[in-house]
Amino acid sequence: MKTIRYLLVAILLAIAAICLSGCSHVQENNDVLFQTSTINALLEGVYDGDISFQELKQHGGFGLGTVNALDGEMVGLEGKFYQVKADGIAYPVDDSMKTPFAVVTFFEPDKSALLDESINKYEQLTGYLDNLLPTKNIFYAIKIEGVFEYIKTRSVPKQNKPYPPLVEAVKNQSTFEFHNVEGTMVGFRCPAYVEGVNVPGYHIHFITKDRKAGGHLLGCQMQNVTIEIDYTSDFYMVLPKSGEFYRVDLTNGKQKDLEKAER
């Protein structure tokens, strides 16, 4: 009887050790880009999601996206989320709020660089960043910090149902300009093959150091800022479980609409 009891204890201990080992492995693997919904769904006007920011935090504290009803631009930095509304002000996001589209990760830089040349437009920045990357076939989280000579951002007003497509919603966007402002760019570079799922290429948001303003990045001028890049080889996406996402037609390509909405 004792032998059987000892055997059962040994089996239970072995199972516990395996579980702990597996959980430890999951926790240690922070090189995962987590995404909720798809960019094409957002382009089609699916502006209500079912994932709360409390849930989102479990998958990363660095990222970008929006909140339900497309009410502004979301920036995630150092474990805190901010909602830059159409008035240009960055508001802390309550855990109970939900998002229709967001991309987050646990930021752990694999490469750092000092931008030692003058960048005068957005396209120059993306070209410079491309030259720092070992391949264009994985995902990257990108953080750029410092004092920026010039930043131009935008945000969109909260939408009312029936929701318009994103390309129509951004026609009413508000734009903001900053000069000699200290802050952080929070962005991602996605491979070309994710077209329809995420934004191929760069998608960048900005927030000031005091966390009071920011938005979706449209233009920039900078020099002597710090660039940090997190190589992210794993991608995990969660789709909405019901609602408009189930009914929307996602069979048509939306790349031209995406370019209009982004830039």
Q: What is the pLDDT of residues 112-142, one digit of tens each?
A: 999 989 999 999 999 999 999 999 999 999 9
Q: With contact defined as beta carbons under 8 Å apart, do 206 and 215 qualify?
A: yes
Residue whose entry in the numeric block shows the structure tokens 């997190």: 230
Tell me, what DSSP letter sits at residue 119? B
Does residue 257 surpass a pLDDT of 80?
no
Give the mean pLDDT of 174-178: 98
Q: With contact defined as beta carbons under 8 Å apart, do 142 and 204 qualify?
A: yes
184 contacts: CB under 8 Å, gap ≥ 6: 77, 143, 144, 145, 206, 207, 209
Three-state SS annotation for 5-18: HHHHHHHHHHHHHH
Q: With contact defined as beta carbons under 8 Å apart, do 89 and 174 qualify?
A: no
Q: What is the pLDDT of residues 12-71, one digit of tens each?
A: 445 445 444 444 444 457 889 999 999 999 999 999 999 999 999 999 999 999 999 999
Give 261's pLDDT tier (boundaries 50, 70, 90). Answer: confident
Which of 18-32, 39-53, 96-110, 179-193 shows the lowest mean pLDDT across its residues?
18-32
pLDDT at 34: 98
- Output the pTM of the full model: 0.87
Give the mean pLDDT of 89-118: 97
pLDDT at 20: 47
